Structure 1
Amino acid sequence: MAFRYGVLISPEHIRMMQNNRTHVQINHDQQLFVRGELQTLSEEEQRLLQQYAEGLRKFVPEIVSLAVDGVEVGLSSIEAMLAGVGSQSQQDEWRALIRETTFQFLSRFVRSGDHFYLAPQSLNELDNFLNRELKPQLTSLARRTVGAVWGALRDALRQSDNNFERAETQDWQSVNQLMEKITLGMDEKMVELEAKSALFCQRMRELDHIESKLQKRIASLAQFDVVVEKPE
């Protein structure tokens, strides 16, 4: 299942967007605008529109929140681990790298108060981006920075006569173990996403079914197929 258009949810409006242009807008779950023109709806069409809007209002924020929370868990884990390690300039550099690494992802999922935006994508793309793109990028970044810091700490201890023996015998925590801690929270979000994927797909099929009914009744909606089922 996939969203062919971006979907913006706010308390008053639902907008279906592409290239920063709104093609379809639903106001207060009752009024339908297609390319800026208000559509005259029958009672049955108003009922279908309300069902469609209510489904989007429940479904889109769940996906956005799950994705954003997963990223925030990973970032907070890394930042907490790096806090107080190295100089201030090094910490600023690491934070800048982290922000750069996640900017592309977060631009696809926006949550601001009671406003939510989901960029065009499929559920598979969401899972792939979280699990195959974002997490390896964060892991690679943390491995480089933490590995360098850990090496610097070992070198500093070896240069001290009092700590030389301790540096040789201490059971240093490996970088891999640190990576496990960093990605633990994100892994939990991956499991949560996988557990919800079947339910998400079912809800999207229900939305697609309602959307199809609306499109058959309202000719101007036919070209704006927002919820689609992608071939396997």
Structure 2
Amino acid sequence: MKSVSHFLLCIMCLLPAGFSAPAAAHYSCDVDLNYGVVVNDDQLRVLKEYLTLYQINHKQQLFVAGEWLTLDDSQAMLVTDYAKGLHSVVPQVTLLATTGIDLATDTVQQMFLSLLGSDHDSYEKLNTAMDKMKTRVRKKFRYARSHYYLGPSSSEGLDELAEADLMVPLSQTLTTSVGSILTTLGAMDSDKLAVDRTEMAVINQRIAHYAATSDGDGPPVDTTLPQKARWYCDYFKKLDALEKQMQTTIPQLAGIDLIRQTSHKD
């Protein structure tokens, strides 16, 4: 009997573009977060674990280490544009990530069933791995009582599961950072993505609602999920450029880098 890892590597090669390493090479979102960020209607906070590094109230009042800073007009405009962008994109990406991980794990499970069947002795281990992945995504991309949260990138994996043969190909493919989620969705083949019209309409309505209520931006309504993922990645890059301007003009922010551009090889 061939090893479980062999079959899972076959699954990765057969999945829609974005789940296998060769296919993912065609698109990569090189954006991640160094810290957590939480937004509600009136406030934005950048968090290192439970410590607030800085917060922006009403998209204009900047507090760094608890101190309210007096800003000149150009600084205030940068802070407002940056806060407006994060207030808009954080809820939208939260929705996209939690929707996307369900599509990704369902696809892996369906491919496993088509290759090996539900009687294979690793099927329950696979289901356990998929459930853990969904749980981790919902911890890193979450909504509670009008607060939306995106967690920082980390090296977390599925190492605590004992079946190493099972974990290696999955942990290289399904990770929970912002960049990895957007890479996975952005590289998918929309023709093979099983999202019915009703479900897609609901997703579009919710994303449009988040953009409208935050007075911010959002992807065109008629775009596919992969196109939306690419739009969000590009938008994070624009916010990164704003952040760099803030760090240059506001000395108290110089050492606090929320958004980073990196390289994804998975």
Deviates more, 1:191-200 or 1:106-115: 191-200
Q: Secondary structure of the equivalent of 1:117?
A: strand
Q: Residues 100, 4 of structure 1: CA spacing in aligned structure 2 closer, same or farther, 3 A cutoff?
A: closer
- The percent identity for this pair of structures is 28
- 1:184-203 matches, cutoff 5 A: 184-185=194-195, 192-203=224-235
Instruction: Check 1:231–1:101 CA distance in 2 against 1; reply closer, same or farther (3 A cut).
Output: closer
If each structure's helix is expressed as a fraction of its own residues, which one has the higher value?
Answer: 1
**2:47 matched to which residue of 1?**
17
Structure label with greater radius of gyration:
1
**Equivalents in 1 of 2:49, 2:184: separation in Å?**
21
- Residue 102 of structure 1 is aligned with which of 131, 134, 139? 134
After TM superposition, the score normalised by the length of structure 1 is 0.59
Mark the runs of 5 or more structure 2 residues left unpaired by the alignment: 1-30, 110-126, 154-176, 187-192, 204-222
Q: 2:90 and 2:104 mapped to 1: Cα distance? A: 22
Note the residue ranges of structure 1 that are not aligned, 5 or more in a row: 79-94, 132-182
2:99 aligned to which of 65, 69, 73 = 69
Offset of 1:123 from its aligned partner?
Answer: 3.7
The separation in 2 between residues aligned to 1:208 and 1:74, in whole angstroms, is 28
The answer (yes or no) to whether the contact 1:70–1:185 under 8 Å persists in 2 is: no
Give the drift of 1:219: 0.7
Q: CA RMSD in A?
A: 3.6
Alpha-carbon displacement from aligned partner over 1:124-153 (angstroms, at most 9, x marks no partner): 32247889xxxxxxxxxxxxxxxxxxxxxx
Question: 2:88 is paired with a residue of what secondary structure?
Answer: helix
Paired position in structure 1 for 2:260? 228
Deviation at 1:221, TM superposition (A): 0.2
Q: Distance in 2 between matches of 1:54 and 1:112?
A: 20
Q: Which residue of 1 aligns with 2:148?
A: 116
In structure 2, relative to structure 1, the CA distance for the partners of 1:6 and 1:70 (3 Å cut) is same
Verify the 8 A CA contact 1:65 1:111 in the aligned structure 2.
no
Q: Look up the SS of the partner of 1:48 in the other structure.
A: helix
Q: How does 1:209-228 map to 2 (within 5 A)?
A: 209-228=241-260
**Paired residues of 1:9 and 1:15 also in contact (CA < 8 A):** yes
Aligned length: 165
The separation in 2 between residues aligned to 1:5 and 1:97, in whole angstroms, is 26
Inter-partner Cα distance in structure 2 for 1:230 and 1:70: 21
Alpha carbons 2:185, 2:225 under 8 Å: kept = no
Is the 2:43–2:57 contact (alpha carbons within 8 Å) kept by the matching residues of 1?
Answer: yes
Do residues 32 (structure 1) and 62 (structure 2) align?
A: yes
2-structure distance, mates of 1:23, 1:8: 12
| C-alpha distance in 2 between matches for 1:231 and 1:100 | 25
